[in-house]
Structure 1
Amino acid sequence: MVTLNSLYTTPLRQEALGVDIEAFTPIAMMGVDPFVLWVHKDEGISTFEEFVEKVRSMDGDFVMGGAGQGQEDSIVIAYMSGACDLDINYIPYDGGGAVAKDLAGRQIMATVNNPAEAKGFYEAGDFVPLLAFSDERMDAYPDVPTLKEKGHDFTYYNQRAVVGAPGMSEAAAEYYRDVFSQVYESDAWQGYVESESLSNLPMDADETRA
């Protein structure tokens, strides 16, 4: 199974599911996706400070979209809202592609899409990146500051990991770890990591369990 951070958050929010994440078999951490705050170019906003001013001026009518409720996008937006005293109307979507599409169509006013989800619109000149929720500035967006630079000790990455079923034999687990290790180290995968602005985060099985 390919997992996101919702591997952790969904069982925490819905205990009745009876899912024990520690029972899964760690296979590979293929990388992590940072989050970026995006607005449409026609909003006329080019800095995070202008974004904050615009949101505050709208007194709760500023609309942001994101994938899911209580998951990655909403967590990032909730933290930003609390840290910067912003009243944002959040609309949950089924996936990041739909979020990016509606920002392009100006059905919403801002998003925190991963770079890969917004890349095409950014390259077309439609999206403006204002803030990165990463530890350091991203190579693809060297002029975009981080939230840490704005005085808030917060970063958020979405894992792209692979786990095996509970009870998988050690021999089977090692087989798949070898398979995904070859993928991870390949020029094709590392090229994808670079082009889509992911970050490498190599972790062995014990580190993943911890």
Structure 2
Amino acid sequence: MRIMRTGAAPVGIVLALALAGCSSLEAGGGGSDAAIDELSIVVPAGPGGGWDQTGRAMQANLQDEGLVGSATVTNVDGAGGTVGLANIANASDPNTLLVMGLVMVGAVETNQSQARIEHTTPIARLTEEQEVIVVPAESPYETIDDLLADIEKNGKDVSITGGSAGGTDHILAGMLLKAAGMPPSNIGNKLNYIAYSGGGESLAALLGNNVNAGISGISEYAEQVQAGELRALAVSGEERVDALPDTPTLTEAGYDVVLTNWRGVVAPGSIDDEEREALTTAVTKLAESDAWQATLEEKDWDDAFLAGEEFDTYLDGNIAESLTVLKDIGLIR
């Protein structure tokens, strides 16, 4: 099955919710002209990964642009974000955003989480990013063909690390095995996927030669590839990326797989229309700012901004579509 990038309805997903510890919505509080005095940004994963990078970039840019009086980032780690989600599912503070994205729907399903995306208030989709498949620099795998052939031959003796179980990285691993000709019913018997909640942990496992390969967003591995510490075998989008210009796409390598990971933010489900509008306005102004555009260029993130009813519709469609894909590659029943 082929999953097209955003604009051709990529697999969707998500999640949501919030944490406490912020003040109420006020104009001009704390000496700031921003409509939101204090904002809490919740990252439902450990440091170093794409969600964490997104949350901290938002924090810096929102403050630098004067769109909030102050912003704090809190990491709530575990189970693909569902631990943080469950803890804040009933949060009532309106000044809270949860960083989320494609990873979340798979985590909700594979962890059988009772806290769901439908319990949140969608605010905006912000970015999308290609995935990259890498191996340690001294690995015998020179191409994606080499890696997949070894998995076919030796099964779970070959380990692949990535983010949360059922998330984007895990989905891509399953899609690759299917595209290589493996029946979905056999993927679970062949795929040895080692899940980590943060990109920093998977990177450490790769650099320590504790795993055979890794899958993550471009921004999480590009620096190590450029430094010669990792070797990139393929990227997952429709075109090559500037950060890794010599790395072929999976399509170029002969595999009918296109997948990009999108990220966005949601708020507690209990907020009212006025509170939602204030958050949406702040995030919209952020997305339009020069500072945010510079961040996108620096991180090699594609601008995928979507808000309001369009984002609501996008989420509904992608949640349904992602469940179909997860079933198709054997990750859920």
Same-fold call, TM > 0.5?
A: yes
Q: Please tell me whether the aligned partners of residues 120 and 269 of structure 2 are also in contact (alpha carbons under 8 angstroms).
A: yes
**Offset at 1:43?**
0.8
Say which of 208, 219, 227 aligns to 1:124.
Answer: 227
Give me the TM-score of the superposition, normalised by structure 2. 0.57
CA distance, structure 2, for counterparts of residue 60 and residue 81 of structure 1: 13
CA distance, structure 2, for counterparts of residue 200 and residue 125 of structure 1: 28
SS in 2 for 1:113: strand
Match of residue 169 from structure 1: 272
Deviations for 1:154-200, whole angstroms, at most 9, x for unmatched residues?
32222221111113222221211121122222222222222222111
Which structure is higher in RCO with an 8 Å CA cutoff and minimum separation 6? 1
Match of residue 103 from structure 1: 206
SS in 1 for 2:271: coil
Alignment partner of 1:24 is 2:120: yes
Alignment partner of 1:154 is 2:257: yes
Alignment partner of 1:196 is 2:299: yes
Q: Please tell me whether the aligned partners of residues 100 and 113 of structure 1 are also in contact (alpha carbons under 8 angstroms).
A: no
**Offset at 1:54?**
4.1
Which has the higher mean CA deviation after the structures are superposed, 39-48 or 105-114?
39-48
**Offset at 1:118?**
1.2
Alignment partner of 1:89 is 2:192: yes
Instruction: Map 1:24-63 onto structure 2 (within 5 A).
Output: 24-63=120-159
Say which of 170, 173, 182 aligns to 1:77.
Answer: 173
Match of residue 8 from structure 1: 105
**Offset at 1:98?**
0.4
Which has the higher mean CA deviation after the structures are superposed, 133-142 or 151-160?
151-160
Aligned sequence identity (%): 26
Q: What amino acid maps onto 2:145 in structure 1?
A: E
Which has the higher mean CA deviation after the structures are superposed, 47-56 or 95-104?
47-56
Say which of 140, 163, 166 aligns to 1:67.
Answer: 163
For this pair of structures, how many residues does the alignment match?
A: 209
Q: What amino acid maps onto 2:277 in structure 1?
A: E
SS in 1 for 2:161: strand
Q: Please tell me whether the aligned partners of residues 286 and 292 of structure 2 are also in contact (alpha carbons under 8 angstroms).
A: yes
Deviations for 1:41-88, whole angstroms, at most 9, x for unmatched residues?
111433223333444454541111122222222111111122214744
SS in 1 for 2:109: helix
Q: What amino acid maps onto 1:73 in structure 2?
A: D
Which has the higher mean CA deviation after the structures are superposed, 61-70 or 46-55?
46-55
Q: Aligned in 2, Cα 1:28/1:44: closer, same or farther, shift over 3 Å?
A: same
